[in-house]
Amino acid sequence: MAALGLAAGACTTSADAGNEGQAAATGGAAASGPTSQPPEHLEAEVLSSRAEDVTGGDTVVQVRLPAGLAADAVTVTADATGEAFPVEVDRTGRHVARVSGLPDGSSTITAVAGDGDRATVEVTNHPTTGPLFSGPHLPMPVCSTDLYGLGEPLDEDCSATTSIRWKYLSTDGELKPLDDPSTLPTDVETIGETKLPFIVRQETGTLNRGIYWITVLDPMPDPTSQQWDPSAWNGRLIYEFGGGCGTSYSQGFKMLGDPSTELLERGYAFATSTLNTFQVACNDVLSAESVSMVKERFAEGYDTPAFTIGSGGSGGAIQQYLIAQNYPGLLDAISPALPFPDAISISGGVVDCALLGDYYATPDGAALSEEQRTAINGHLTTDTCGMWDATFAPIVDPSGPCTIPGLSAAGPLIGGLPDGGFPLLPRDEVYDAETNPDGLRCTLQDSNVNLIGTDPETGFARRPWDNVGVEYGLGALRDGVIDLDTFLALNEGIGSYDIDGNHVAERAEADEDTIRTAYATGRVTDGSGDLRRIPIISVNVWTDDQGDIHDRFRAFSMRERLRNPDGSNPPNHMIWTRGLPDGSNLVQSLSGSLDVGSEAITVLDTWLTALDADTSGDPIEVRLERTRPDEAIDNCITADGER
């Protein structure tokens, strides 16, 4: 592999905002455009989800009223039930109707005014177990409901009864369980200047077969009615994404600790699902589908957020990028940390590290010096490939353990994992070419079989990876670190892995249909969708010298994909480089659970607020640049605070 020129850790300069980006608006708040005037006639649209992605028989419909028409003069009905639903005013001043009782399938919701004016919207309702758009359910023989306090699963889809529990922030700074929310503890902390009690409500349930969490301040809880007190909410939702990249065939786990008490105190709500942890299922479409369902639940049970800001690192960054690209409107801004652009395009380099590790175990490879191996690998140290080889590279083996042993051993360092550690697929259900050829295959491509299809020759998921034509060690040869004979021996002996993960002498070659499908279905980030239309602050933590897999050039590979056609930097994408926070470690980096602080969320919120208030009607790239806060620039701050 050629040496990577951006591994030196130098800081970059502020964005050169070009004006060649896309100008089309989307459903995302950040690109909503000018504030609309009252319509001439009634209008209706689904607010809680896309109209075709309603779940559970409930939906929130916004009714836009002509000037002079009172809300109580409008009746909203659903053809499937004939029931009438009142039009109410939500906290942002929108007129909404909360429709319930919809059957699975298509329904027509109609808003009618007394003068006969009407508006209709067609909706499609689905079961809360899904799927919506991710394709047929993959097997899920392992449920996690009991591990997260929801009891034994109610059905084969791992469903559970929804639970609402409360916690409180004590004066010693610890979140503690609050068994009786009707009685305030004597050591309860208060919320800022409001002096309201710092009580946190956490709803846990199942949607899309995953376990979800919604966490929000609830300063005056009512355990009898379970009605939420929204007085401390700032109208924003932070959607969290967990790291990794796995194929667990389980309901999963989360690799995220409790939400930030600092951000809770400032009024932010939080949401996530086990299927938003990439180590559970390295499938961004399944993750997007879960975001849609959980956000719908939040809109229906709490309120519709003004903005939804994505947060999370490593595999959590991949999800944010791909969801913003492929499902505009789900996320209004994103803060990908420890950023990788996507799973598919980086997988070749991951497998290369495994192949090189195998080669270094041969007599020719063992004769190479540390300097030569470092130059061949193309990283700052050989430990980077070593970490890839020990963690995610084994995902090429379909008979592997379906988890990362190192992460399991480091469970206490990863917030959010249940006491029992990672839920594991029973060994007798895992594929084995000889003893269990019909077993479950734990590879990246098998997690995405609905998206990339199956190989008609093998019946297995297509594999979008090859290494035909790769000249391993070319950079090292050009730099004079290895000679031509060493270069030729390396490339003759490197080989590849077959579909069962066996090391073979031949190079691997993916067919064109597989590669074309990976691009056509959006599995590779290309700067489309909302990626040029929403604020993005990517937080890169400098750990290259420690052998971290999150090497620095990844942030810049994303920058290259987002560049304007004239070569200038996009106005919406900032790269922040930080030192490894005190008390942090590479396990947290590896799992994507590293705490990079709240500054990016603060700046993104400021940016979104200004963008939403910009009613100029100018192209989105112009508005993004004009409303960009002073803090939203490329910058670099060391672990010691030096800028």
**Model confidence at 553, in pLDDT bands (50, 70, 90)?**
very high
| 463: pLDDT strictly greater than 50 | yes
Provide the pLDDT for residue 590: 66
Contact 128, 57 (CB under 8 A): no
Looking at 218-290, which runs of residues are DSSP E strands? Answer: 236-240, 269-273
> Cβ contacts of residue 609 below 8 Å, gap of 6+?
307
Provide the pLDDT for residue 408: 64
Q: 454, 483, 457, 487: which is closest to 472 by C-alpha?
A: 487
Instruction: Tell me the CA distances in angstroms from 359 to 250, 305, 493, 505, one per residue in order.
Output: 34, 53, 7, 11
Contact 540, 578 (CB under 8 A): yes
**Residue owning tokens 């297995």:** 460
Q: 358, 352, 392, 517: which is closest to 448 by C-alpha?
A: 517
**Model confidence at 28, in pLDDT bands (50, 70, 90)?**
very low
| 342: pLDDT strictly greater than 70 | yes
Q: What proportions of the chain, in percent to the nearest 5, are helix, strand and coil?
A: 30, 20, 50
Q: Report which residue type is found at 325.
A: Q
Q: 154, 150, 120, 268: which is closest to 211 by C-alpha?
A: 150
Map residue 493 onto helix, strand or coil. helix
Provide the pLDDT for residue 522: 96
Assigned token pair, 211: 């376990």
Return mean pLDDT, the chain: 91
405-409, 488-492, 530-534: least confidently modelled range? 405-409
Q: Which class for 411: exposed (0-12), middle (13-18), buried (19 or more C-beta within 10 A)?
A: middle
Contact 625, 571 (CB under 8 A): yes
**Model confidence at 411, in pLDDT bands (50, 70, 90)?**
low
Rounded distance, CA 198 to CA 267, Å? 11
Name the CATH superfamily for 57-126: Peptidoglycan hydrolase domains (2.60.40.1590)
> Cβ contacts of residue 333 below 8 Å, gap of 6+?
30, 307, 309, 310, 534, 535, 536, 604, 605, 607, 608
Contact 63, 93 (CB under 8 A): no
| 171: pLDDT strictly greater than 60 | yes
Provide the pLDDT for residue 25: 28
Mean pLDDT of 190-211: 95
| 31: pLDDT strictly greater than 60 | no
Residues of the chain with CATH 3.40.50: 146-344+527-536+544-571+582-609
| 426: pLDDT strictly greater than 70 | yes
pLDDT tens sequence across 224-255: 988 999 999 999 999 999 999 999 999 999 99
Mean pLDDT of 185-209: 95
| 510: pLDDT strictly greater than 90 | yes
Provide the pLDDT for residue 405: 65
Residues of the chain with CATH 2.60.40.1590: 57-126
Rounded distance, CA 277 to CA 246, Å? 9
Q: 306, 310, 308, 329: which is closest to 321 by C-alpha?
A: 310
Q: 632, 627, 594: which is closest to 610 by C-alpha?
A: 627
What percent of the chain is predicted at pLDDT more than 70? 93
Mean pLDDT of 396-422: 76
Residue 43 bridge partners (DSSP): 64
Assigned token pair, 125: 């309702």
Provide the pLDDT for residue 23: 28
pLDDT tens sequence across 574-592: 999 988 877 777 777 767 6
Give the ranges where 267-423 is alpha helix by DSSP (H). Answer: 284-301, 315-326, 344-360, 363-366, 370-377, 383-390, 405-409
Map residue 472 onto helix, strand or coil. coil
Rounded distance, CA 331 to CA 292, Å? 10
**Model confidence at 36, in pLDDT bands (50, 70, 90)?**
low
pLDDT tens sequence across 362-408: 999 999 999 999 999 999 999 999 999 988 998 899 998 787 766 66
- Single pTM value for the model: 0.92
Rg (C-alpha) for the chain, rounded Å, is 26
Rounded distance, CA 506 to CA 450, Å? 28
Please state which architecture CATH assigns to domain 146-344+527-536+544-571+582-609: 3-Layer(aba) Sandwich (3.40)
Cα-flanking dihedrals φ and ψ of residue 635, to 5°?
A: -155, 170
